[in-house]
Structures are given as C-alpha cells and as structure tokens.
Amino acid sequence: MVESKQFKIRTIEGKDFPSIDGETILDSASVAGLAFDHSCKNGLCGACKTTLVKGKILEMQPQIALDKESVTNQFLTCCCVATSDILIDATNLSIMHGIEVKILPTRIDSLDLLSEDIMQVKLRLPPTLSFAFLEGQFIDVIGPNSIRRSYSIASISSNNKITLLIKKVKHGKLSDYWFSKAKLNDLLRIEGPKGTFYLRDKDKPLVFLATGTGIAPIISILNGLESDLSYNQTESISLFWGNRVRQDFIWKSNFKKIKIDFTPIVSREDDNWKGKVGYVQNIALSKINNIKNSNVYACGASEMINSSEISFIKAGLNKRDFYSDKFVQSF
C-alpha cells in the first residue's frame, strides 16, 4: 500500500512538481502544467520511458514496453508513482502547452480504398470549430457503440480536413466498420490531439523510419516542412518505408521544395520488384553516414522500433535523438 504522502519530483532541467496521491508521475506532471514524452499511457508503447536518477518509485501497472535490454534504472512514467523525493531524466516539452485535447464531432467526408487493406478516410469538422495539432500527433476516433481506436493524422494542421490511413485488421471491431459499413456523412467523435511524436529540430539531418501505415504521421511532418515558409533545408532528409509487398506503397514522395532521399523496402520479394528487400532499420543503417548528428523518427510496428532504437544507439546515435510512435494493435 502506497502511503498518502506528497513527494517532490524534480527533472534534470530543475523543474519541480509534487506527486499526486494515486496518480502516475506522467499524470502528476500534467496536472502541474508540464508535458513529458508519452503516447499510449498504458505501458505498451514505451514513449514515456525515462531514467530514474535518484529516489524510489513503485510500479502501478505492468511496464510491458520495457524490454530485456533496458537498463535497470529505466522506467515508464505512465506506469509508476513516486514513493520518495525523486530526480528523473525527463524533459518538459514546452511546445505542447498550447495544444488542447478536445472531444469534437466530425463527419466522414470521403472514403477511398487505396489498396486491398488500406483505407484513406477524410473527416471534416463543423466550420465553427478549430482543431490545432502538431504534425505527427494522433487522435482517437470514437465510432459506433463507443468503440475507440487511435489513428495517426496524415494531414497538416492548416488543412480543414483530417486525413487518416486505416489498415484493415482481421476481426477488428472498428476495422469492420470502416471497410464494410462506413458511409459518407456518418457522424463520429474524435478526441485529441494526442502523443508527443512531432518534429523536434528542423536543422539536423533527419532520418524517418516507417512500416505500413506508420507512414501517416511522417507524411504529416514532411508536408508540414513543405508548407513551412520559414523552413530553409540545410541538412539531409532520409525516408525508409517498409511494406510486405509493393502493392502496399499507397503514397509517393512528390515534394517541390524539400529534397528527400526516399528508400522503399519490401519484406517479400517478387519478380517485379527492383528495389530494396529486407528490414527497414538494417537498410537505413547501411545508408546513413552521419548517424551521430541525426535525429531519428520511427513509426509503425513495435518490432521495427525496438530493433531500430537498439541498433541506432549502438551505432552512435544519442538516445535522446531517437523518437518513436509505436503502433499497438487493438481488436
């Protein structure tokens, strides 16, 4: 039983905030007006992983995303509470302070089947409502019978419609709705924006890794750079996108301002494929020369992200320069 006592939590930046009885460190920070890295908030994605420098904590829910190679003092802020005054290696994301999470009504504006199992959905909000987000964030769609699923936003914040790329999931409750029941003008609700997957430093070499519909937030980030009048590209931008087969490449890089080294990769080779075959992270590591000075953004399958983080850090990347949005499948 955790004592009903308030402890002081300090970040390495010197920001102090109190622990709240029964609330995780992540939620206590939010109440205090601080924003830490996070995504799923249930221990599955690992986005909120940080290091305990000093003090004691208690796990309140399983830290599933901590793998065997995690060092002993790493923990997930969404799963743990403070049981003493603590010092943690977490950074306040000041850019998040103006982003308000809302529940809003929306209607289906278009439904386009891009491949056998990928649907592009565009949602429109009432003209009187505004929805601000950072390119790279995601929303929860609340569908029929209040079924809730998370989807990354593929459009940019200045667009008046929200674009989603939706993968068909066998036996998926909301997936069945999208692919067999959804109609134009259906009324849905969204909650968001959520997560802290967004572009941190535009002036560093950028490496993007994606599998499947994990390309969605990266499309948003890249289109954000393309439309940013103040952005003057001085460093390389590399994109490595992996799919099972060539038919799954439902988006093409077609930018006019920004220059991207785009490498499509398949895991299942066929006679008509002339490109790369293999794992995204392995091919990226073989091509990137300036790993130590790069920022790496990975989105998609958990296996790819876990392997990429370990491999890139071993190759010299600073652990603080690896950002990820791990897709956790729901049915």
- 3 state SS for 206-230: EEEEEEHHHHHHHHHHHHHHHHCCC
Q: Quote the pLDDT of residue 297.
A: 98
So what CATH class is 8-85?
alpha beta
One-letter identity of residue 99? I
Nearest to 210 by CA among 220, 200, 202: 220
Look up residue 8 and give its two tokens.
Answer: 């002081």
Q: Quote the pLDDT of residue 171.
A: 86
pLDDT band at 67 (very low <50, low <70, confident <90, very high): confident
Q: Quote the pLDDT of residue 21.
A: 86
Look up residue 247 and give its two tokens.
Answer: 């038919």
pLDDT band at 327 (very low <50, low <70, confident <90, very high): confident
Every domain of the chain and the residues it spans: 8-85, 100-194, 206-326
Look up residue 40 and give its two tokens.
Answer: 């799923």
d(CA 307, CA 316): 15
Q: Quote the pLDDT of residue 1.
A: 45
Residue-wise pLDDT tens digits, 186-230? 999 999 999 999 999 999 999 999 999 999 999 999 999 999 999
Task: Specify the DSSP element, H or E, that contains 87.
Answer: strand 86-88
Give me Rg for the CA atoms of the chain. 20
Q: Which CATH architecture has domain 100-194?
A: Beta Barrel (2.40)
* Residue 261 backbone dihedrals phi, psi, to 5 degrees: -90, 100
Fold of 206-326: Rossmann fold (3.40.50)
Residue-wise pLDDT tens digits, 278-297? 999 999 999 999 999 999 99
Residue-wise pLDDT tens digits, 259-282? 999 999 999 878 888 899 999 999
pLDDT band at 98 (very low <50, low <70, confident <90, very high): confident
Query: 317 or 70: whose pLDDT is higher?
Result: 317
d(CA 307, CA 61): 24
Given a contact cutoff of 8 angstroms between Cβ atoms, the answer to whether 165 and 110 are in contact is no
Percent of the chain with pLDDT over 70: 97
Averaged over 236-258, what is the pLDDT? 95
Q: Quote the pLDDT of residue 69.
A: 53
Burial class (CB in 10 A: 0-12, 13-18, 19+), 43: buried
